[in-house]
Structure 1
């Protein structure tokens, strides 16, 4: 069975990304804060992609799509808050289509984005945060070599409820000396 492949987000993905986001909107918004309503239109998605491309051109952040062989988007992954001087770090985020949950897509997206981050992007450290009640996401990170380094209390608010977050980090493999 062919592995899904992680590809950079481009304007050519606008229609399929619009479908992915609208089909999974309620699922995503059950656990993360909602995007602005203006995002959920073909124009809103195209504008967000253009902004993502500008961020990538400026080395500020990178967005990727995990696609099946037939081109179907099953997950997204991004590297945001890229810090170069003295840090060489970024923050990882990801989301998986509801119908694709539990099939290893999150782990595969994280595995592939780490390869890009530590390879062609030359980053040295990736951070990720997980709500304390999201054990599946924490397992994805641990499975991909992340280590928990912190726990912040009442640090994420959604719909008037405060949640704890767990903080994880992963470092680029060191070359043997």
Structure 2
């Protein structure tokens, strides 16, 4: 568990599948504005269990680290993920997150990003974390800049979202100890 002031992060277990499904179903329209295309089967308990199993395996292989974002009273309000972890001469990963729309604007995502960055730099010893955000997602860009990420450029038509290739602002943070 990674404790913060308003929230905490913890790895998902298979027992969390029903809560993950609830979060996804309650925020489906909101999350789909910003995510890669999802099949209808994504919105099943079995799919959430399989996703958690895959993430546990990814963590064991040092490829990805996904956490739930929880309020201090143990309510799952989002997810945050460090993925495409590369070792060797690169020592980097990508960050992605989703927060329940009802909890936006309260600083929870910024705190979650800060906790994940600290974990990535101090525990995983990564050198760099990157993010890609659609330019019109001003809230997410603000979250990342508050957490110390810097804009590095624009990836044109980078990710297919809702059937359309979307541009993404590229942002990154480098471990200050490197």
| TM-score (norm. length: structure 1) | 0.92
Structure 2 residue aligned with 1:42: 45
Structure 2 residue aligned with 1:16: 19
Alpha-carbon contact 2:133-2:168 (below 8 Å) kept: yes
Check if 1:88 corresponds to 2:91: yes
Give the C-alpha shift of residue 104 in structure 1. 1.0
Give the C-alpha shift of residue 156 in structure 1. 3.0
Give the C-alpha shift of residue 155 in structure 1. 2.5
Q: CA RMSD in A?
A: 1.4
Give the C-alpha shift of residue 78 in structure 1. 0.3
Alpha-carbon contact 2:70-2:77 (below 8 Å) kept: yes
Distance 1:25 1:136 in 2: 18
More moved, 54-63 vs 148-157: 148-157
Structure 1 residue aligned with 2:118: 115
Alignment partner of 2:75 out of 72, 76, 94? 72
Alignment partner of 1:166 out of 154, 159, 169? 169
Alignment partner of 1:4 out of 3, 7, 24? 7
Distance 2:18 2:164 in 1: 34
Alpha-carbon contact 1:75-1:109 (below 8 Å) kept: no
Q: Which runs of 4+ in 1 moved over 4 A?
A: none
Distance 1:78 1:160 in 2: 23
Structure 2 residue aligned with 1:53: 56
Give the C-alpha shift of residue 172 in structure 1. 1.0
Alpha-carbon contact 1:39-1:48 (below 8 Å) kept: no
Check if 1:124 corresponds to 2:127: yes
Gaps in structure 2 of 5+ consecutive residues: none
More moved, 53-62 vs 150-159: 150-159
Gaps in structure 1 of 5+ consecutive residues: none
More moved, 121-130 vs 25-34: 25-34
Give the C-alpha shift of residue 39 in structure 1. 1.6
Alpha-carbon contact 1:52-1:61 (below 8 Å) kept: yes
| TM-score (norm. length: structure 2) | 0.92
Which structure's relative contact order is higher, taking Cα pairs within 8 Å and 6+ residues apart?
A: 2
